[in-house]
Amino acid sequence: MQVGFIGLGIMGKPMAKNLMNAGFPLIVWNRSQPAIDLVASWGAEAAKSPKEVAANSDVIITIVTDSPDVEHVALGPDGIIEGVRPGAIHIDMTTMSPMITQQIAAKLAEKGAQMLDAPVSGGDIGAQNGTLSIMVGGPSDAFERCLPVFEAMGKNIVHVGEEHGSGQFVKLCNQVACGLNLLAMAEAIALGKRAGLDLDKMLEAITKGAAGSWMLSNLGPKVVQGNWEPGFMVRLKQKDLRLCLEAAASLDLPLPGTALVHQLYRSLQADGLGDKGTQALVHAIEKLGNFTVHE
């Protein structure tokens, strides 16, 4: 199965590498050339456009930044739709609008191609280790065909529904839970610091109990070390939280906790911290409490 891969960022590069390690021949494209050159040095074929990727692929994976970016590479000039072959499958792994996912799927269907929306969770660590959680929406026959591709990148792979956009809705549920877990992690560490605790011991004590979470186990130690490098950037988390709130508004559903986290992250963006890791949420609590966790 020839796989095309579009989007070679923090997540895309290791995902592409895992596909190659699993034996899939890869043709790749990215907005910036250095990432293409790097993945080509691992043995992938370099393409000059998404159209060229699609024309030479049975499965085309995209993982870019936001809904407009997916629209551009899928439906824009020299996009996937101009090169896609009948019977091919476009797997979009971006976190994006479920409604726009449905629109793209309809356009691809006119060309005889199928689409799966398959956003991921697990951050850069999961991408590197091939242990991502992948939530897939779309036709079950397309899902079954692409299961070996998913298994090269993730461990927890769930077909969540036949409807286009269902994977994206599940991912938004995931991002709501992640956002509130991030806030819980930040507040727990802030309280521990203010109380004069050994933060490493505090994390050791609570991560294995009822309070345990991925955020506490993986991002808590980074906060204690003062490591703000991104596995996932603040500005991208903000994009996801915006999508959550937009989807909730379309359903007339209040999400007060999600709205609070969104506003706290906005304060980080106002301080110029948009490219820091999501664990930087602790800075918002520091400002409110007029203290510093990591000195």
Identify whether residues 200 and 270 lie together within a single domain.
yes
Instruction: Tell me if 158 sits within 8 A of 134, measured CB to CB.
Output: yes
Q: Is 222 a catalytic residue?
A: no
| CATH number where 131 lies | 3.40.50.720
> How buried is 116 (Cβ within 10 angstroms: 0-12 exposed, 13-18 middle, 19+ buried)?
buried
pLDDT confidence bin for 167, thresholds 50/70/90: very high
Q: Is residue 68 part of a domain?
A: yes
Q: Is the pTM of this model over 0.85?
A: yes
Identify whether residues 130 and 20 lie together within a single domain.
yes
Dihedral angle of Cα 121, 275, 61, 31, to the nearest 10 degrees: 180
Which of 126, 148, 163 is a domain's end point?
163
Which of 13, 17, 51, 171 does the annotation list as catalytic? 171
Identify whether residues 69 and 147 lie together within a single domain.
yes
pLDDT in tens, 273-285: 999 999 999 999 9
pLDDT in tens, 217-232: 999 999 999 999 998 8
Q: What is the DSSP letter of 58?
A: S
Which of 109, 130, 163 is a domain's end point?
163
Identify whether residues 159 and 22 lie together within a single domain.
yes
Question: 281: closest CA among 239, 225, 220?
Answer: 220
Instruction: Tell me if 108 sits within 8 A of 114, measured CB to CB.
Output: yes
Question: What domain range includes position 102?
Answer: 3-163
> How buried is 234 (Cβ within 10 angstroms: 0-12 exposed, 13-18 middle, 19+ buried)?
buried
Q: Is residue 294 part of a domain?
A: no
Residues 6+ apart with CB under 8 A from 49: 29, 78, 79, 83
